[in-house]
Structure 1
Amino acid sequence: MSVRKIKKICSYVIRTLLVFSVLNSCQKSVSEDLDDDTPIPPVISDLNCLPTKIQITDQDGETYSTNYFYSNTGNPENCTENSPDGSVFDWTMKPGSRRIDLIYNQWIEFDDSGRVSKSRMLFIPYDNDPYSTAYFDSYTYDTQGYIVSVRTVRDPNPLVTYLDSSLTLTTNTWDNGNLVKSKTVYLDGRSTEIDFTYNLSVTSTGNEVLIDSYVSALFPGFFNTGKGNRNLKTGMTYKFREPDGSIWSGGTESYTNHTFDGQGNVLSYKVGSVSDGNSDTSTVSKSYRCF
């Protein structure tokens, strides 16, 4: 699986929080503006609804999808990534009481509250591949249960690394139940900053990526990474900064035309992106299983 394919599979994340990093701004990011294209969803159910499929169709018509499978009690068992060329990558779970083991010595550990606390993931997950690079993530939550930081350390013995730094620290800022600010600082002093906007009239059911990590990129909503946003995310603005603070790149993402199911879960939405003068559109569709 190429780096491009992995990034495509994970573009749901990139289009909802990532761009391989995260934010800073002096102004409050929550927007009171309403999106006329966004209908008000029904009252959110008390059921726990987890994603069974997330599909991304880009403007060229290429489709990338990830399918998620659970036990009858809602425990994750397996997920598969599907690419336009027909290739399928299978993530079989081996659950334990405080840890889930994945293929190629990858794993996810949980704290006493069932939240992700640590993980070891490969950037290109192939066994004995010299271009596979392992990263260890450590997750921190505040007293209210929101994810406030993620520290990433590169495996000390990789042959090749595709990421620019061996250590990053992402910090998140929450306001009124929404993730409004996030900033990732790299070992070399560069940083990425993202501001988020929300429709405060629409309540979110969660099941979205909240943190800059490979776990959240592959498994959005699949594992517990703390409380989700209170309201529906409508966009983000991101900036890439040099160590001296100057901006070398940036862009915006907008999320419109949302549709909902009877439980209040988002079924689909359109993504519009503008970066360094280039624009792109795609459609994200989702399905769920409720327990």
Structure 2
Amino acid sequence: MDLNSLTIRPITGRDELSLFSRLPYLLNEELADDLAQGRRRPEWMWVALLGDRLLARAAWWSRPGDAAPHLLDILDVDDGLPDASARVEIGVRLLRAALPAVVPNGSPLPESSRLVPPDWRDSAVTRRATEDRMTILERTGATLFVERLRLEWRRGSPLPEPGGRLAFRPPHEDHELLTLMTRVLDGTLDAHSRHDLTRMSAGATAARHYEDELARYASPKDWWRVAVLPDAEPVGFVIPAHNGYNAIIAYLAVLPEHRGRGYIDDILAEGTRVLARQDVPRVRASTDLGNVPMANAFRRAGYVNFGREINMTWA
């Protein structure tokens, strides 16, 4: 294969969406709506072609209205190519051409995210494809950051009744939630939060999370719940939301002084009940593979592990 004959370029517009979608991935079905909603742009969707054959592709995602991409969430190489070195080389050439054009000069490179089956290491085909992508990213300077569990509660699954130990109310105001978010960072097991805490204060970390994610959800804030004891002392909180794709548990935490007493089960159950009352088909959530207490809480609440997410970052 003559790699010097590759054509590497962004797609020209929505008319080339069928070309971009020739390589299979579960996000393909969301691409048209993402373009319509401003979460993607044609100039952020790149292809590597040999003649009219699509050999590789890459795409970035953002929140609507953002000037720069937030996430590299599609990176695929034609698995039909038998030569592993050629697969990796094509992917590397694609990323090296696209990154300078997609990411504004001087801006940090967005994190890479890949959704994979929960047993991706057990399948030779899936493992090969996943490791090819990781090698491509590593050759452009990225390193593995964290692997996360993707979890799902499905409509019709049992919902525990309130246990009576805690009462639930919406946050009194944004300031109260920010204060609680700051406090729960003490001892956090979340890799992204721990990384942020190496660069900024707990208060700044909480404010960034709130402004960059929680405040942007279009779902009602009156879904949000603070868990309190009978004397009104806060124990923790949960943020049920809708991210434009699915109902989600966006954030769930117990204050440090109240951990180890099983309150996480009560709080997660309340957040799930809030969303179940909206008659959604599913509630999704994710947690780091290494956050065993959180993963166990989701399992006890009836959430199933339906996939994993591999995050890689550039220094």
Which TM-score applies when normalising by structure 2?
Answer: 0.24
Larger relative helix fraction: 2
Larger radius of gyration: 2
**Greater RCO (CA < 8 Å, at least 6 residues apart):** 1
Larger relative strand fraction: 1
